[in-house]
Amino acid sequence: MAEIVRLLSSYNTAVVLLAATLLGAAGAVAGTFALLHKRSLVSDAIGHAALPGIAGGFLVALAFGFDGRNLAILLSGAALSGALATVMISWIASQTRLSEDTAIATALAVFFGLGAVLLSVVQSLQVSGQAGLDSFLLGTTAAISAREAGIIAVMALLVALVGLGLFKEFRLLTFDAAFAGAMGYPVRALDLGLMALLLLVVALGLKTVGLILIVAIVILPPAAARFWTDRLGAMTALAALFGAAAGAVGAGASAVLDDLPTGGAIVMTAGALLLISLIAAPRRGLVAQGLVAARFRLARRRDGRAATGQGMGERELRP
């Protein structure tokens, strides 16, 4: 126990835990609107599309004489490729006869395949630093410095603040985009802004959750919060709380257990919160619904018995 406390109280671990906590909250805030706006899988496509940006950023950094493992360059590359994937999805869905889910699957497959090719090229180079690029697939906190964790924390806090600052606009966009447009709100710009927030969350979460599992931190906390409330404000707050808890617990467990991947730990924590919500939520949980169904069946039986008894009495009074 003393060793665990020592590990968690060290400066570098504390900063990483703060970054993971804020990232979980920020991802949940953006994910709440994405979930209700039926854009959940877009974040998955953006996450997979980040792989060629990471590998490409490494190659570009080497070409210009920089350190290939520079986090700013790698995240910029991931953000650029994610943005290209978003544009590709939007163009296919609007300019062709293909549906949006087909466009998402196309972008995911194409960009992830390109990333796999570029990553194999990087691995074949006789340079130092390329060995740890695969950590972006599942995430790892061990390779994050305190400075990098601080950058992630600040940017995650900015994403959360922007999402909360545009709460009214995103609410209109989510529930009635046509009404928002009639009221003069820039619907297209707001939709792109929401995609930009998801893109930032994906880029920031590559080192902690990993590009394969980043969709979980965006979707699982809002999905868990949806079981507890019908109000958007309360759902957003609960989702942020669940996301922060998943980030903190998962990153802390990964820091204590050497062989536990950070992304997997965070996702399992978020999944546990969703399972608890699914079972124990007061109105929509399985336990509550089971009790309601049992009370309804009991009431029907009582009503049936009362009706049967009344009918027998009437027959007995007849001559």
pLDDT tens column, 276-296: 999 988 888 888 888 888 888
pLDDT tens column, 44-76: 888 888 888 888 888 888 887 777 677 778 888
DSSP string across the chain: -HHHHHHHHSHHHHHHHHHHHHHHHHHHHHHHHHHHTT-HHHHHHHHHHHHHHHHHHHHHHHHTTS-TT-HHHHHHHHHHHHHHHHHHHHHHHHHSSS-HHHHHHHHHHHHHHHHHHHHHHHHHSS-SSGGGTTHHHH--STT--HHHHHHHHHHHHHHHHHHHHTHHHHHHHHH-HHHHHHTT--HHHHHHHHHHHHHHHHHHTTTTT-TTTHHHHHHHHHHHHHTT-S-HHHHHHHHHHHHHHHHHHHHHHHHHSTTS-HHHHHHHHHHHHHHHHHHH-TTTSHHHHHHHHHHHHHHHHHHHHHHHHHHHHHHHH--
- Check: pTM over 0.85? Answer yes or no: no
Give pLDDT tens digits along the chain (319 positions).
Answer: 554 555 556 767 788 888 889 889 999 998 898 888 877 778 888 888 888 888 888 888 888 777 767 777 888 888 888 889 888 888 888 888 888 888 888 888 898 889 888 888 887 777 665 556 666 666 666 667 777 778 888 888 888 899 888 888 888 888 888 888 888 888 888 888 888 888 888 888 877 777 777 888 889 999 999 999 989 889 999 999 999 999 889 888 877 777 777 778 888 999 999 999 999 888 888 888 888 888 888 888 887 776 665 554 444 434 4
